[in-house]
Amino acid sequence: MRVSVVIPTHNEAQAIERVLADLPSELTTEVIVVDSNSNDGTPEIAANMGARVLREPRRGYGRACLTGLENANAPDVVVFLDGDYSDRPSELPILLAPIMEGRADITFGSRLGKQRIPGALPWHAVFGNRLAANLIRILYGLKISDLGPFRAGRVEVLRALALEEITYGWAVEMILKGAMAGFRVVEVPVSYYPRIGTSKISGTLKGTVGAAWFILSLIVRYYFRHRRTELRRPE
């Protein structure tokens, strides 16, 4: 199985070396670091560690993930991983197992179901993620606990979903579209640690509230869009 790992970065020089060093080399075919205008040497460190570095000057976490997906070299599975060392790259086998065993099309790690060091995920981020997860369970019937960034998917599934969200919506679009299309979306427990460096979103209450509002509204919007499509289908 060919596995491409996509890591979006912006000023992650303190962490990126650890992230790349901890990736199980026997499971990864290629590592793509998609860098958004870092000025701290992140791209150079990543390149020296053997990663393929793509420069993405346009802003947006989702945009960086989409750039990595578009440029992956004939993978069977694409993994998305943050560059801050909060999720542990060594747990890649946990994330890939359901796909490799034929039980899942998309997997993602729950930061609330295994080892979570106190303070690793601020209380407001925990609250927002649980609220979003409960809304997804009610509207879509998908039982999840979190919207963690450590995730993987079979490449033909990811491309079939026509993913397009370029900012916060990336965290939920893959899950919602996957569930609505009938693909097998499986959550697995992963460890979670305090990130190295300052978070661009969950590090502040304002950032978390903004992201949470965007994600919650997206969950509702996708639901009603799907309902309208269902109602328009001929008998």
Smallest CA-to-CA distance from 167 within 200, 189, 138, 129 is with 200
Q: At residue 206, does pLDDT exceed 70?
A: no
Residue owning tokens 């993930």: 65
Question: What band does 124 get if pLDDT is binned at 50, 70 and 90?
Answer: confident
Beta-bridge partners for 152: 79, 107
Q: What is the pLDDT of residue 94?
A: 96
Query: What does DSSP say about strands 77-80 and 52-55: parallel, antiparallel, or unpaired?
Result: unpaired
| pLDDT digit string, tens, across residues 79-118 | 999 999 999 999 999 999 999 999 999 999 998 866 667 7
Question: What band does 140 get if pLDDT is binned at 50, 70 and 90?
Answer: very high
Q: What is the pLDDT of residue 123?
A: 77
Assigned token pair, 81? 């991983």
| Domains (range + CATH), the chain | 3-232 (3.90.550.10)
Q: Which of 21-35, 132-146, 167-181, 199-213 is least confident?
A: 199-213
CA distance 189 to 130: 15
Question: What band does 217 get if pLDDT is binned at 50, 70 and 90?
Answer: confident
CA distance 67 to 167: 13
Q: What is the pLDDT of residue 179?
A: 92
CA distance 129 to 111: 10
Q: Which of 61-75, 139-153, 220-234 is least confident?
A: 220-234
Q: What is the pLDDT of residue 222?
A: 86
CA distance 116 to 102: 28
Q: What is the pLDDT of residue 208?
A: 66
Higher-confidence residue: 25 or 231? 25
Q: At residue 9, does pLDDT exceed 70?
A: yes
Beta-bridge partners for 8: 34
- Please compute the mean of the pLDDT values over residues 44-56 and round it to a whole number: 97
